[in-house]
Chain A
Amino acid sequence: MNLNTAKNLIVRNALLGAAAIILTSCGTATFTKTGSDATIESLRSFHLAFIDEFAVPRKRFNGAAFDARVNEGDTKFQQAIANEKFTARRPVLIDLKAQFDADAAHLRSKASHGKVTSALASEMKKDINKIYDHALGR
């Protein structure tokens, strides 16, 4: 093997190695982002189900059930934030949790005074879907 062939082999192997590293890291990033999207969709489902459960006109307010569901939500959001591997998504999850907290506070105030209307529930769900769509970059 002459010197030129040996040099070419080294360069080729180095390029192949670099390409492999790039492909692997891209694959990991895509996998992480897909997992992160699934987490956000799961939080959206929980958030919407929470509205469906408590934003019901003329339904008697059950404070204990409401608190239990809010605590469940807090745990879900906190876990999602702590487990998020896609670091750019952490502030987004924090914003989503802030929205959940704000919705829970507003809904508690309305439901405990029997002031829930169907328009309130429908507009709340519209805002929830919008914020999750924006979180997913849609």
Chain B
Amino acid sequence: MPSDDKTKHKKTRKSELDSALDQVGDESVAAATKEFQDLLAQAKGDTTELIRQNAEELEQRLLLLKEHKIDKEDFDYFVENQKRDLRVFIDSQPAQAQERAEKLTLQLLGMAATKIAPLLLAMI
């Protein structure tokens, strides 16, 4: 449950990715970065395992990209894999839950690929 001590500790501690993104000085991209960080934190704290797992995988892959352990081509490939896998899950959700699930998964992945990944690569 999101209310336990472990999760609280996790939420207050800054992740490695957050620390990297906090260094973004350019105001034109700072808003998009903040929006992404908020959405990622929301997804990581979600009660649905698949949403949480997707967010954690995405974060880990952004770190691998930042550390040059994978390139942008690989990153985009993994994003497409994740999207393909998630579409089945989203379609299986009740209509009223679909919009939220889509925001915390597909939208998050889209932002990561188009805004955050290029930003991380430009910072290196």
Write the residues of chain A forming the contact surface with B, with a CB cutoff of 8 angstroms: 99, 102, 106, 109-110, 115, 117-120, 123, 126-127, 130-131, 134
Contact = CB atoms under 8 A, between A and B. Distances in A.
B85 A130 contact: yes
B85 A119 contact: no
Contacts of A110: 73-74
B28 to A, nearest CB: 31
Question: Looking at chain B, what size class is its interface with the partner chain?
Answer: 10 to 19
B64 A119 contact: yes
A119 B70 contact: yes
A106, A109, A118, A123 pick with most chain B CB within 10 angstroms: A123
Given A123-B61, A123-B78, A127-B78, A117 B70 contact: yes
Interface SS, B side: helix
A119 B63 CA distance: 11
A119 B69 contact: yes
B114 interface: no
Contact of B74 (A123, A131, A134): A123
B81 A120 contact: no
Interface string B93-109: 00000000000000000
